[in-house]
Structure 1
Amino acid sequence: MAVSYILCLFSLICGALEAFCSQNLFLLWLKYQKAHFSQANISTYTLGIQAVGIVSNIAAAVYIDATGHRVAMGVLACMLQLISAVILIVPDVSFAATFFAYYNAGTSYIVNPLLFGWANVICQRGGDDALRSVILGSMNASSQVLYTFWGIVLYSSSDAPYWRNGCIGMFVVIGSLLAMLGVVQWLDKNTARKHPDKQITEFVGTEDRQKPYGRVSVSEKERELLQSGTSAPMVASALPV
């Protein structure tokens, strides 16, 4: 049960990190500044956040799959949102800085491949696919429940164009997520110790991934014989991961 509680809380905090985007703050800000922007501008400028989010999501997924550095990617997501929060908490910041802050906020979608990919690896070790499905579904629900009150309390449309309480809330979320990264990393290592026979086979070459059968090593001499077409006895040795 500890796994489900930790992962659901992790999901809730990750969802809160996306608040600048999911609450459509940039759209509300543009509408407030309608004297400076046409309706066409208001409709199209917000798409830049989605573009940044798509690129960030894909790039994060590729990086995590290639390196396995999940914690580092989570810290990066927090630091990028910290930049946006610091800019937006300043009253009457320039238009250029505001555009940068909201577009940069699109990088919060980095947490999606981090969250569900990591949770799937942890839950799969137990071997109970039904429980894994329930936990992943509960994680998705917990992040949605957050917005039944989060936006009303911290990001009310009546506060446009300046959400001071929302920026302060983002600072708290960033600190909480950094702490949760450590907790989930501990959970990851703990489940790996409990289920050593059910490690997920992932790409080789990273220090934090485990491979159940090791790698096969071929000497330089044997490689030369193979390339020349000469048969030779193969001596395989399992290298520690």
Structure 2
Amino acid sequence: MGTRSKLRAYFHTEYHHVERMLVQKIDFFILTFCCLSYFTNYLDRSNLNNAYVSGMKEELGFVGDQLNQITTCFTVGYVVGQIPANLSLHYVRPRIFFPACMLAWAGLTMVTAAVHSPQSIIAIRFFQGFTEATTFVGTHYILGSWYTERELGKRSGIFTASGLAGTMIGGFIQTGIHSSLDGKNGLSGWRWLFIVDGLITLPIALWGFIFFPDTPATTTAFYLTPAQKALAVSRVPPVPDRSPLSLGFLKRALSSRLLWGFVILWILAGETESFSSNALMALYMKAHPTKHYAVAQLNNYPTGVPAIGIVSTLFWAALTDYLGGRRDLVGYFIGATGVATAAMVLAEAARPAEEGSTAVVFAAYYWAGTVYACQATFFAWANDALRYEEHMFRAVVLAAMNLGSNAVNAWWSIVFYGASMAPWFRRGMWAMIAVSIAMAVWTALLSYMTANHERARKAEMAEDAVVGEEKASI
């Protein structure tokens, strides 16, 4: 088959009429809700950095690395909530659980508008992290429950891009709010940002309460016909129905090489996102050695980072699907990107006042935005590798990946990317080079491991088929 024919087959999948209607419905009701949920999740999460450079630092008297300490407390809450939140999906319907968590974090976001000290934000962000804990991995679990292997990469990419859109648009929202609402009713523009972001989240939560369809095996969605419900169940591989909290299950999970393989992968990958997740470009601009940037510039210029992340995410999600699930390619690309961009910043740190230095640093941060592609592709990789495993085991692996990454990130940002280290973050740049090289090496090892696992699974299925035929002939 030629390249043009393969591209046409990839982007124009042929479905039976019933399956086409099913996919269209779950795209509309599941993917739309998940994307809007993740959009507001990142909107409510990233607004702290926008507020910080828009007057909150001065009004609340931030000193030293207090911004990073707040981020760490959010991460601790996020880590603490990972396993309980994702296990809860098996006891509380996702249609109830997801929107309820959204209502909680929307309320906490709006409460932030009333704070008078950095210490108050620390307490709020811990609980906000806890309520947001299931959004990312919980959604990947749901997507893996509804979509086939050929469909999953593109949907994972769209979902991840929606979070980056929240980060990107957050900067423009803060700029608009600062220019139109700053001082309104006695409130600073950064306080209005938290109020507006929280209000945006509420109607999306209501949408989820009404329309989210749970999983194929448990759905009671009124818009799915009985035939479509049966088809949804048949589209995903059947797995053993075992007790999720048995001692045997825990032993199998903790002794799995795949679990630890993907956890280590995401720990390394998560730290390659540090340039963007810690808002280093905004902090670089605010502490620039020779230039002063206006509030609008501090909010608008960094939006290019998630914008590039969106393009990279969608490109790599589509490409790795097109290449038959070669998710490992992203690991090699990101490894090279992390080394190159960190080296660019270190080079310019030695000549900060020279003409062109700022342009090179801006280019490095924008290029670093491409590493966001690992979110969609690596979680799709885990879903692909675990598609024939127990649903609970897949959920635990996805949760453990995020838990491990955030457990490291809780202290990593303070040690390597403290706000007081701006504008150059030299220690962080060397850490980025080290972790990028390690991730490329680990990607190769995990690729070998998952390939062996797939060969063993197919050999076992073939052996079972032979045994079945022999029994049938007796």
Q: Which TM class, normalised by the smaller chain length?
A: 0.7 to 0.9
Code of the aligned partner of 2:282: L
Change (3 A) 1:37 1:135: same
Q: 1:43 aligns with which of 272, 288, 299?
A: 299
Q: 1:113 aligns with which of 359, 376, 380?
A: 376
| 1:82-108: CA deviation from partner (whole Å, max 9, x where unpaired) | 221111112135110011001011011
Code of the aligned partner of 1:187: M
Separation in 2, partners of 1:69, 1:4: 19
Separation in 1, partners of 2:397, 2:326: 23
Alignment of 1:55-74 (within 5 A): 55-67=311-323, 68-74=325-331
1:36: how far off? Answer: 2.9
Aligned length: 198
Alignment of 1:81-92 (within 5 A): 81-90=338-347, 91=349, 92=351
Gaps in structure 1 of 5+ consecutive residues: 200-241
- Contact kept? 2:286, 2:292, Cα under 8 Å: no
Who is 1:180 aligned against?
442
1:197: how far off? Answer: 6.6
- Contact kept? 2:272, 2:432, Cα under 8 Å: yes
1:30: how far off? Answer: 0.9
Alignment of 1:74-153 (within 5 A): 74-90=331-347, 91=349, 92-93=351-352, 94-125=357-388, 127-153=389-415
Who is 1:28 aligned against?
283
* Secondary structure, aligned partner of 2:292: coil
- Contact kept? 1:74, 1:114, Cα under 8 Å: no
1:71: how far off? Answer: 2.5
Separation in 2, partners of 1:112, 1:197: 31
1:113: how far off? Answer: 2.2
1:12: how far off? Answer: 0.5
Who is 2:424 aligned against?
162
Change (3 A) 1:164 1:27: same
1:153: how far off? Answer: 0.5
- Contact kept? 1:116, 1:136, Cα under 8 Å: yes
1:166: how far off? Answer: 0.5
- Kindly indicate whether structure 1 or structure 2 has the higher relative contact order, using CA contacts under 8 Å at least 6 residues apart: 1
What TM-score, normalized by structure 1, do the two folds share?
A: 0.78
| 1:167-215: CA deviation from partner (whole Å, max 9, x where unpaired) | 110111011101111111112112112210799xxxxxxxxxxxxxxxx
1:60: how far off? Answer: 0.8
1:79: how far off? Answer: 1.3
Alignment of 1:214-225 (within 5 A): none
Change (3 A) 1:118 1:40: same
What TM-score, normalized by structure 2, do the two folds share?
A: 0.40
Separation in 1, partners of 2:459, 2:305: 43
More displaced stretch, 160-169 vs 185-194: 185-194
Change (3 A) 1:147 1:16: same
Separation in 1, partners of 2:299, 2:418: 20
Who is 1:229 aligned against?
none
Code of the aligned partner of 2:424: Y
1:35: how far off? Answer: 4.1
Percent sequence identity is 28
1:69: how far off? Answer: 2.9
* Secondary structure, aligned partner of 1:195: helix
Separation in 1, partners of 2:377, 2:399: 16
Who is 2:453 aligned against?
191
| 1:115-153: CA deviation from partner (whole Å, max 9, x where unpaired) | 11111111123x311111111111112111122100110
More displaced stretch, 74-83 vs 163-172: 74-83
Higher helix share: 2
Separation in 2, partners of 1:3, 1:104: 31
Separation in 2, partners of 1:147, 1:74: 19
- Contact kept? 2:309, 2:369, Cα under 8 Å: yes
* Secondary structure, aligned partner of 1:153: helix
